[in-house]
Structure 1
Amino acid sequence: MKEILIKTVMTPLLDYVTLKETDTVYDVFQVLEKTKSDSRQSHRDVIVVDDNGKFKGKVTMLDIFRALEPNYKKLFQNYKDGTLTKDYVINAMRDFNLWMEPIKSICERGANIKVAEIMHVPVEFEYLQEDDSLEKALHEYVMGVHQPLIVKNGDTVTGVLRFCDLFEVIREEMLACPLPE
Structure 2
Amino acid sequence: MKNITVKDLMVPLTGFVSVSEDDSLFDAVQALEEAFDTHDGIKTHRRAVLVSGKDGKVVGKVSQLDIIRALEPKYNQMDDSRAMSRFGFNPKFISNMLKEFNLWNKPLNEICRKATNIKVKQFMYTLTEGEYVDQDAPINEAVHQLIIGSRQSLLVTKEKAIIGILRSTDVFKEVCKRIKACKL
TM-score bracket, shorter-length normalisation: 0.7 to 0.9
Shift of 1:133: 2.0
CA distance in 2: counterparts of 1:139 and 1:103, whole angstroms: 39
1:63 paired residue number: 66
Q: 2:172: which partner in 1?
A: 167
| C-alpha spacing 1:106/1:163, structure 2 compared with 1 (3 Å) | farther
Residue number in structure 2 paired with 1:22: 22
Q: Tell me if the contact between 1:5 and 1:134 (Cα under 8 Å) persists in the aligned partners.
A: yes
Match of 1:35 in 2: 35
Q: How does 1:80-99 map onto structure 2 within 5 Å? A: 83=87, 85-86=89-90, 87-99=92-104
Richer in strand (by share): 2
TM-score, normalised by the number of residues in structure 2 = 0.82
Q: Aligned residues, how many?
A: 177
Deviations 1:91-119 (A, max 9, x none): 21222222232111221122221111112
Distance in 2, Cα, partners of 1:116 & 1:26: 13
Unaligned runs of 5+ in 1: none
CA distance in 2 between counterparts of 1:141 and 1:108 reads 35
> SS of the counterpart of 2:78?
helix
1:116 aligns with 2:121: yes
TM-score w.r.t. structure 1 length? 0.83
Structure 2 regions of 5+ residues with no counterpart? none
| Alpha-carbon distance between aligned partners in 2 of 1:29 and 1:150, rounded to the nearest angstrom | 21
Distance in 2 (CA, whole Å) between partners of 1:115 and 1:8 is 31
Q: 3-state SS of the aligned residue for 2:126?
A: coil
Structure 1 residue 146, shift from structure 2 partner: 4.3
Q: Which residue number in structure 2 is paired with residue 49 of structure 1?
A: 52
Structure 2: how far apart are the matches of 1:2 and 1:92? 50
Percent of pairs with identical residues: 36
Name which of structure 1's ranges 56-65 and 71-80 shifts more when overlaid on structure 2. 71-80
Q: Does the alignment pair 1:132 with 2:137?
A: yes
| 1:42-92 superposed Cα distances (whole Å, 9 cap, x missing partner) | 411001124554222111223222211212112336879x84642533421
Query: 1:68 is aligned with what amino acid?
Result: L
Give the partner amino acid of 2:178.
E
- CA apart distance, 1:145: 4.0
